[in-house]
Every structure is written in C-alpha cells, then in structure tokens.
Amino acid sequence: MTKVLVVEDDVQTAAEIAATLGDHGFEVEQAGTGREAVKRATSERFAAIVLDRMLPGGMDGLAVLASLRGLGVSAPVLILSALSAVDERVRGLRSGGDDYLTKPFESLELTARIEVLLRRGGAGSSERDTVLRVGDLEVDRLTREVRRRGRRVELLPREYRLLEYLMLHPGQIITRTMLFEEVWSYRYDPRTNVIDVHMGKLRRKLDEGALPSMIQTVRGSGYILHAAE
C-alpha cells in the first residue's frame, strides 16, 4: 500500500484528508508540527507528502520543505495553503514543492493531484519520453507533431498544451483547476468556460472522420483521456 505523510496541525482537517486518502487506497500517517514532520519523513519512506503551509511551533511549511530537501528527502510534496496569491504559490514551488493546492479544496482534486505526483515521479515516467502514445494517438514533444492513426492533426498552441498534459496522465481524472493552472498558469475561475471551449475544439480535431472520442468529460470533476475502443 502506498504510504503518504499528512502534515497538518488542524485535527479536523487532518482527519478529513486522512479519510479521503484512505478511501482511495493510501496508507496515511500524520504529523501535527514541522519538527514532527521532519522526524517522520527522514526516518520512514513515504511515496508523497501533503504539507500545510502554515504550521505552529516556529517551523512553517516552507521551513519544513527546505529541511527535507536539504536532508535528501525527494518524495513529491503537495503544499496546502489558504494563501492563494500567485507570489505565495511561486514561493512554495521554488522552495522545493511539487504542487500547490489552495484551501478550501475538493477531496477529489486532492487525490487527483497526489496520483499525478506519484505518476510523475514513478520509474519510467512518461514526462521523460520524447514521444507520447495513448492508443492510436501519438505526440512528438520535440516537433509538436500530433498524429492519430497516422493522420496529422493540426493544433493551435493552447490545444497542444491541453493535449500534452492529458497525454502525460492517461486514464486519470484531470480537473478543470489543474488544467487552468498548468496550461493557462492562472488560478481557476469557475465562472469561465474557456477550458470547455478549447476542449471542444480539441475533441473535434482528434475525432475527425468519426473516430471514437478519446477525451471523456467526467461530470462535476473534469476530463479523462484513454485509448479509444
């Protein structure tokens, strides 16, 4: 079972995160302070760490992160924070964090981001591959050439980035928030339909010629890319 360390001083929030991850098959251990987190993370091996940005006791999340990286702990770290300003997110990522999730958040997005981090860090990760393949769809990341069943698909830059991100995480639910932050580099605004518009155009181009659709909408969640049957 995949082991995850949850570092959160709020007992109720920690319990909710642990329950959510536990429901998705993760083994969860908890730490309520920065010092306890460093002790646990350096004495045990965790596949991922969920780290609250604001911690009591004089050692906040960024200090914990710096200590862990300095001590050679390479487990991917998802930072949780009520601080949503872009500069705060940048600080967290530049301090060694692998992803940043703003509170409050949906449990589905938390687990989706953990799964993406684990896939990204796994052996043979597709992020190191030059050519991405899912079913009959192929993307050359050097030339940015996209082909489906040998037919070249012409994509605009934003459409290509959307597809590339989905191709890097096939079979996983990718939320609109994740796409907005990764492809547009902005915080997601639920009032905009920009992702749906671009996704619709991408689908039509990929499915030209009445091919089975590879991009499915998961209602209330996001999108998932899988090999067409």
Q: At 31, is the secondary structure helix, strand, or coil?
A: strand
Cα gap 229→227, rounded to integer Å: 6
**In the predicted structure, residue 109 carries a pLDDT above the cut 70:** yes
- Give residue 128's pLDDT: 43
Between the CA of residue 176 and those of 6, 39, 108, 109, 162, what are the distances in Å? Answer: 24, 36, 12, 9, 11
Where is mean pLDDT largest: 46-50, 98-102, 109-113, 183-187? 46-50
Confidence of residue 123 (pLDDT cuts 50, 70, 90): very low
**Mean of all residue pLDDT scores within the chain:** 86
**In the predicted structure, residue 185 carries a pLDDT above the cut 50:** yes
Let me know: does 153 contact 146? Beta carbons within 8 Å: yes
What is the rounded average pLDDT of the residues 69-96? 82
- Give residue 190's pLDDT: 73
Query: How much of the chain, in percent, has pLDDT values that exceed 90?
Result: 40
What is the rounded average pLDDT of the residues 52-69? 89
> What domains are there in the chain, each with its CATH number?
3-121 (3.40.50.2300), 126-225 (1.10.10.10)
Where is mean pLDDT largest: 3-17, 111-125, 179-193? 3-17
pTM assigned to the model: 0.57
Cα gap 153→159, rounded to integer Å: 11
- Give residue 70's pLDDT: 87
What is the rounded average pLDDT of the residues 96-108? 86
